[in-house]
DNA sequence: TTAAGAAATGGTAGCGCTACCAAGCCACAC
DNA sequence: GTGTGGCTTGGTAGCGCTACCATTTCTTAA
C-alpha cells in the first residue's frame, strides 16, 4: 500500500521543461492507494469503497488535481468531445442550432469543438480529417453533401455522425433537418392561395448555399404547376442582411413594378424590405406582399407582422445532440432520420 | 531501415476492440523509414530530406493516415486548442465575439472549444478546471470576475490567458474589452446634451450580468453630476429580446408619463421599443427619445434610425485571438491590455 | 466452519506520439 | 589523412492515464 512512495521522487523523469503537473500518481501517494484506484474513484466511484473514496477526494482537493483528459483519452481511445461543423458563424440560423447542441451536450458532459467551412467542401474535408485526430465521441456536420473522402472516412469510422439542417436519403449515419424543397413550396402555395400571381423569389448566396437553392426550387415548382410565371428571381451573392434585403426589395420593385408578392429567402432579407417599405410609405401587403423564412423573433415585431415559414432551429440542435447522445449511451436510437418540420406562420404581411 | 517490419505484426497488442487505426508506425513501415522520421516529415518538413518526404507523403496518402492528435498532445504537452468561455450563447454579442475569435484562430490552425457558463461563476470554475485537462494552448474567458480558484489556477498555469469584454486592473494575464462605465456615461452625456432631463435606464439581467450593471452605474453617475433625477430604472430578469424591450417601453411610459428619453441597455431592447412605438404611432424622438447600446445592424434600418453606442464586437474577438497568438508565437506581445473602444452613433432617435 | 462467489484493490502493459540524445554521413579545411 | 561541424536519421524512453487480468478481502450460504 505504501510501496509506491519510494520510486516516486526519482529524478530524470518529467520533461516538458519541468511543468510538473499534479498527476494521478501524486494523488495516489497522498491517499495511500494505487493510481488505478484513484482513476476508478474519479470515473466509476461506485466501484471504490467509501473509505478510500473519501481519502482520495481529500487528496484531490488538497493537491488541486485536475485529470489530464488527453492522457485519459489516449488510454481509453476517445474523449468526450463533439466537433460541430457548420458553414458559417455569421448566419444566425447556425448559431441557434449550435446553441441547442451546446446546451444539450454540455449537460451530458461533452464539450463542443467548433469548426466552420465557409461553404467550402475542401475546407470541410480538411476540418473533418483534423478533428477526427482527436478521437471525438461523435461528429455533427451540416448538410448531406460532402467530399467522397469525408463520406468514406466517416462511414468507416464506427462512431455516431449526425448530418443536420437538411433531410434526405443516403446520409452517412443519422440525419435531422427540414425538407428545404417543401419549405419553399409551402410559402409559394400560401402566396398563390392568397391570390397573388406575380411573385418573385429573392435570395442570397444561392451559388454556394445549395439549401437556399433547394428552397427556390420548391417555390419554382409550385408556381410552374400553377401555370404562373415562375422564374422571377433576384439574388445577390453577399451574405443576407437587412441591407441586402432592402436592396433586393428596391431592385425588384424597379425591375418589375407589376409584382404583387415577394418571397424572401429568409426573414433577415424580408425584414430589411419591410423596414424600407415603412420608411418609404409603401404599404404591405396592399402595395406588395412579403413572405419570409425562419421565424426570427423580429418578424413578429415588425409592422406589418411578417408572414413566414418558421423552423425550430434551437430545437433542431437539441435533437441532433440527443440523437448522438442516445447512440453514445447505447440506447440504440431507432430514428436514424428525423424531420424537425416547419410551420407556416400566417401574419399580416401577406 | 527494414528492421521495424518484423516486430510489427506481433499479436496481443491493440486493445480498444480492434479499431486498428492507421498509426505513424504503419506509415513508417510503408515508407521504409523510422516512425520518428514520419513525425518530423509531418511536423517539421524542412528537417527531412526531399527524398524521404516524398516517400512519406505517398505512404500517408495511400494509407489514409490521420495523425492522432491526442497522442501527439500527450507526448508534447499540449494541443492546438483554445477554449473560449462565455456566459451565454443566446446573446448576440458573445456570438459575434466568438466569430471573430474562431475565424482568427482557425486561420492559424487552432481549434475553438466552446463553453458557456450561464453567468454562473461556479459553472465557470468547473468548466475551467475541466478544459485545462486538455492542456490547451491558451484560454479566453469573459470578464474580469472569476472564482479565486479559477484565478489562482490560471495565474500559475503558465500559458496565455485573455479576459475579454471588460477592461480593468488586476487581470489574470491579458485583457481586451471596453470600459463599461464609460459606455453608459457616453450615452447619458449625449442625452443630457440633447436637452433631455427626465431620463430612465431600462435593462435586463442586471442581477447576474454585472457588466450591464456597470453601464447603468456610468449612466447614473453622469445624471447625478448633472443634478438630474438619476435613479429611474426599469428592469426585467429575462434575457433581452425585442419583446422585453417592448414591455419595458410600455411600463416606463405608464409609470412615468413625463419621461423624455429612454436609455436602453442594448439595441435589442431599444429596437423592440421603436417597433412598438411605430405600431402605436408614438413619435420618436418627438414624443420620447430612445438610445441604445451595441450598434446592431438592425439599428440603422429602423425608423427612426437608432442612436446607439457601438462596440466593434467581431473585432474584439479578433483582437483577443491575436493577442493570444502573438504570445503563443513568442512575439512577446507588449500590450497586455487593449481598449477596443466604443463610438457614439448619433442618428435620428434622439 | 468452510467453500464459493462477489466485491474491492493492485500490477502490468500499453494507447500513439514526440523529446532527447546518439549515431551516421557528408563536405570542407588543415 | 584527420578533424570539425552541419545535416539527417534512428533508438529509447516516456507523456499520464486506463484496459485487462490477477490478487486479495469480504459476504453469504451450506
- pLDDT per residue over A173-198, tens digit each? 999 999 999 999 999 999 999 999 99
Q: A268 preceded by cis ω (within 30°)?
A: no
A279-289 mean pLDDT? 96
Same domain, A198 and A241: yes
Q: Is the CB of residue B74 inside 7 Å of nucleic acid strand C? A: yes
Query: Quick check: is A73 in a domain?
Result: no
Q: How many domains is chain B built from?
A: 3
Q: Does residue B14 or residue A174 have the better pLDDT? A: A174
Q: Mind listing the pLDDT tens digit for each residue in A40-56?
A: 999 999 999 999 999 99
What is the rounded CA–CA span in Å between residue B274 and residue B74?
A: 55
pLDDT in tens, B166-178: 999 989 999 999 9
* Set of cell numbers at residue A326: 442516445
In this structure, are residues B99 and B106 in contact, taking their beta carbons and an 8 Å threshold? no
Question: Which triple of cell numbers denotes residue A198?
Answer: 406575380
pTM greater than 0.85 (yes/no)? yes
Residues in A 89-128 whose C-beta is less than 7 A from nucleic strand D are: none
Which residues have CB under 8 Å from A321's CB, separation 6+?
A82, A100, A101, A104, A105, A140
Nucleotides of D under 7 A from a protein CB: 8-12, 14-20
Q: What is the pLDDT of residue B21?
A: 82
Q: pLDDT-derived band of residue B330, with 50, 70 and 90 as boundaries? A: confident
The pLDDT of A50-77, averaged and rounded, is: 93
The reply to whether A74 has its C-beta less than 7 Å from any atom of strand D is: yes
Question: Residue A275's domain is classified under what CATH number?
Answer: 3.40.50.2300
**Which residues numbered 5-34 in chain A sit less than 7 A from strand D, measured from CB?**
12-16, 19, 21, 23-25
Mean pLDDT across chain A, nearest whole number?
91
Look at residue B349 and tell me if it is in a domain: no
Whether residues A25 and A145 share a domain: the answer is no
Q: Are strands A289-294 and B161-166 parallel, antiparallel or unpaired?
A: unpaired
Q: Cα A213 to chain center, whole Å?
A: 19
**Looking at residue B231, what is its pLDDT?**
85
Residue A18 has pLDDT above 50, yes or no: no
At residue A67 the predicted structure's pLDDT band, cuts being 50, 70 and 90, is very high
Taking the alpha carbons of B285, B288, B294, B296 in that order, is the dihedral positive or negative?
Answer: negative
Query: Which is higher by pLDDT, A285 or B20?
Result: A285
Sign for the CA dihedral angle at B10, B14, B20, B21 comes to: negative
My answer on whether A206 and A306 are in the same domain is: yes
pLDDT digits (tens, 9 = 90+) for B201-233: 999 999 988 998 999 999 999 999 999 988 899
Reported confidence tier of residue B82, pLDDT bands at 50, 70, 90: very high
Distance A190 CA to D3 C1' (A): 91
CATH number for position B59: 1.10.260.40
Min distance A218 CA to chain B CA atoms (Å): 29
Nearest of A314, A244, A237, A299 to residue A267 by alpha carbon = A299
Q: Is the pLDDT of residue A309 over 90?
A: yes
How far apart CA A136 and CA A83 sit, in angstroms, is 7
Kindly tell me if the per-residue pLDDT of A9 is higher than 70. Answer: no
Q: Residues in chain B, how many?
A: 350
Do B306 and B244 fall within a single domain?
yes
Position B331 scores a pLDDT of: 64
Kindly provide the b/e burial profile for residues A22-45, where b requires at least 16 CB atoms within 10 angstroms of the residue's own CB: bbbebbbbbbebbeebbbbbbeee
**Nearest alpha-carbon partner for B142 in B86, B213, B89:** B86
Mean pLDDT for A84-105 is: 95
**B86 and B169 inside one domain:** yes
In this predicted structure, which of A44-53, A250-259, A327-336, B109-118 has the lowest mean pLDDT?
Answer: A327-336
| Averaged pLDDT of chain B | 91
Mean pLDDT of A207-225: 94
The reply to whether B8 Cβ lies less than 7 angstroms from strand D is: no
* pLDDT reported for residue A229: 87
B56 beta carbon to strand C: under 7 Å: no
* pLDDT greater than 60 at residue A13: no
Spell out the alpha helix ranges (H) of chain B.
24-31, 35-43, 50-63, 69-76, 92-107, 121-132, 148-155, 180-193, 210-225, 242-255, 267-280, 313-328
**Are A44 and A131 within one domain?**
no
> Could you give the angle at the alpha carbon of B174 between the alpha carbons of B170 and B178, nearest 5°?
80
Indicate if B173 and B227 belong to the same structural domain: no
Query: What digits encode the pLDDT tens for the residues A291-302?
Result: 999 999 999 999
Residues A202-217: what's their mean pLDDT?
92
Segments forming the whole domain that contains residue A52: 3-67
Same domain as B286, residue B232: yes
Amino acid at each position: 500500500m505504501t510501496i509506491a512512495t519510494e520510486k516516486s521522487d526519482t529524478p530524470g523523469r518529467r520533461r516538458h521543461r519541468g511543468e510538473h503537473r499534479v498527476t494521478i500518481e501524486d494523488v495516489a501517494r497522498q491517499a495511500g492507494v494505487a493510481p488505478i484506484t484513484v482513476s476508478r474513484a474519479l470515473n466509476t466511484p461506485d466501484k471504490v469503497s467509501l473509505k478510500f473514496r473519501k481519502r482520495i477526494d481529500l487528496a484531490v482537493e488538497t493537491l488541486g488535481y485536475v485529470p489530464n483528459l488527453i492522457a485519459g483519452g489516449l488510454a481509453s481511445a476517445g474523449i468526450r468531445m463533439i466537433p460541430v461543423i457548420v458553414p458559417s458563424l455569421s448566419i444566425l440560423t447556425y448559431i441557434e442550432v449550435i446553441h441547442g447542441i451546446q446546451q444539450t451536450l454540455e449537460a451530458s458532459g461533452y464539450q463542443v469543438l467548433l469548426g466552420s467551412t465557409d461553404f467550402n467542401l475542401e475546407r470541410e474535408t480538411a476540418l473533418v480529417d483534423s478533428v477526427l485526430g482527436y478521437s471525438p465521441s461523435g461528429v455533427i456536420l451540416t448538410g448531406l453533401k460532402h467530399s467522397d473522402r469525408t463520406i468514406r472516412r466517416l462511414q468507416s469510422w464506427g462512431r455516431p455522425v449526425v448530418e443536420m439542417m437538411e433531410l434526405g436519403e443516403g446520409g452517412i449515419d443519422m440525419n435531422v433537418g427540414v425538407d428545404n424543397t417543401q419549405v419553399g413550396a409551402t410559402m409559394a402555395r400560401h402566396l398563390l392561395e392568397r391570390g397573388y400571381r406575380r411573385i418573385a423569389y429573392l435570395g442570397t448566396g444561392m451559388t454556394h448555399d445549395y439549401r437556399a437553392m433547394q428552397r427556390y426550387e420548391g417555390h419554382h415548382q409550385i408556381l410552374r404547376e400553377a401555370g404562373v410565371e415562375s422564374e422571377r428571381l433576384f439574388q445577390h451573392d453577399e451574405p443576407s442582411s437587412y441591407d441586402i434585403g432592402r436592396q433586393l426589395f428596391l431592385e425588384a420593385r424597379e425591375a418589375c413594378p407589376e409584382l404583387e408578392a415577394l418571397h424572401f429567402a429568409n426573414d433577415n432579407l424580408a425584414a430589411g424590405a419591410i423596414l424600407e417599405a415603412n420608411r418609404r410609405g409603401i404599404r404591405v401587403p396592399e402595395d406588395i406582399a412579403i413572405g419570409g423564412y425562419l421565424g426570427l423573433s423580429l418578424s413578429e415585431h415588425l409592422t406589418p407582422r411578417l408572414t413566414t415559414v418558421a423552423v425550430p432551429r434551437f430545437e433542431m440542435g437539441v435533437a441532433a445532440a440527443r440523437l448522438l447522445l442516445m447512440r453514445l449511451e447505447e440506447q440504440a436510437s431507432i430514428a436514424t432520420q428525423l424531420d424537425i418540420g416547419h410551420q407556416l406562420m400566417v401574419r399580416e404581411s401577406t
